[in-house]
Amino acid sequence: MSKTSQKIVPHLWFDNEAKEAAEFYISLFPNSKITNEINLHDTPSGDAGIVAFELWGQEFMSISAGPYFKFNPSLSFAVNVNPNDVPNAKEFIHDLWNKLSEGGEVLMPLQKYPFNELYGWIQDKYGLSWQISLANRIGERRPPIMNSLLFVGDKCGKAEEAMNYYLSVFKDSEKGHFARYEAGMEPDKEGTIMYSDFRLEDQWFIGMDSAHEHHFNFNEAVSFIVNCDTQEEIDYYWDKLSAVPEAEQCGWLKDQFGISWQIVPSNMNEIMSSCTPEQLDRVNKVVLKMKKLDIAEIERAYEGN
C-alpha cells in the first residue's frame, strides 16, 4: 500500500465543518486540493468524517468529531508570501486577508510593522488563526505555510526549551532564525524568545514567547501527526514525546509543553481508505482500544485474522 509522503502533518479538529473548511481553504491557496475522505462510525464522538487535503503543496488532515476542542491563537499557521514565487505578492496578501476576514476576527491589523513591511494576524470564521506576511528574507527558503507555536501563560518562557527538545527528538532537523526580547520590552522578560524558527523533518515551525495576558493555551484542536514506517519508530516517538499519561488514546499523546501529537503508521490513511466497510469497522474497533498504536495488530484486523 502507498504511504503518505510527508513525515509530519498538521491535524485540525472541527465540530462538523471539516469538509466545508477544507473546501474553503483550498480555494484560497495555489497548488491545493482535497486528497481523501473517510467516514468513521461509532467513534467516541459518534460518526466522524476525516478529510485529507493539501494547501500550497503541503499535506493537512482534518476531522469532524464534535465540539470538544476550539482553535485559538496559541497554534496558528504563518503564511509566508515570497515575491519571487508569487507575482503581485502584496495583492495576493490583501485578497487572502479579505477572504479570511469574512466572518472572522482581526487579531493584528494587516499593515506595516517594524518587523515586516506587510503583516497581519487573523482568526477565520472557523476560529483557526493565520499570520500572513510578505517574506522578509527573500533569498532564504522557507515553505509558504509554517506552523506557529505561541507559548503563553504557564508555558511562557519555554519556547527555547521546547525548540531544543524537538530538535533533539527529530533527527532530521535544523535551527533557523532566532531573536530574543531585550530589556525594556515588558511584560516580556529579557532573554525569552521573541521569534525563532526551526525545521523538524519536512515541516517548519515558529516558536514565540508572550508574557501578555492571554486567555488560551495549547489544546487538541491542532495536533501534529508523525507518520512512522515501523513499530520501532512508533515506540521511539511515543517514548520521547508522551508526558501526560491520561491524554494517551488511539495514537494521541500530549507532550511536556502541552502540544498534542498523533503517532501513527505511515500507511494508516491508505489502509482505512482501501477498507471494505467490514474491514474499516474491525480496524476502527482495534484502534479505539489502543493507547500507543500497534502496527501488527492493526494489520491483523485489516486482514481479518
**pLDDT per position as a tens digit, 33-60:** 999 998 876 666 667 789 999 999 999 9
| Superfamily for the 8-70+219-303 domain | 2,3-Dihydroxybiphenyl 1,2-Dioxygenase, domain 1 (3.10.180.10)
- The predicted pLDDT at position 4 comes to 55
**145 phi, psi to nearest 5 deg:** -125, 125
Mark the ranges of the chain whose per-residue pLDDT is less than 50. 1-3
- DSSP secondary structure of 290-304: -SS--HHHHHHHHHT
Task: Quote the pTM value.
Answer: 0.94
Phi-psi category of 252—alpha, beta or left, where left has phi over 0 and alpha has psi -120 to 50? beta
C-alpha cell belonging to residue 203: 515541516
- DSSP secondary structure of 49-96: EEEEEEETTEEEEEEE--TT----TTEEEEEEE-TTTSTTHHHHHHHH
Q: Break the chain into its structural domains and give their ranges.
A: 8-70+219-303, 75-209
84-129: per-residue pLDDT in tens?
Answer: 899 999 999 999 999 999 999 999 999 999 989 999 999 999 999 9
In CATH terms, the fold of domain 75-209 is 3.30.720
- Let me know: does 163 contact 175? Beta carbons within 8 Å: yes
- The predicted pLDDT at position 3 comes to 47
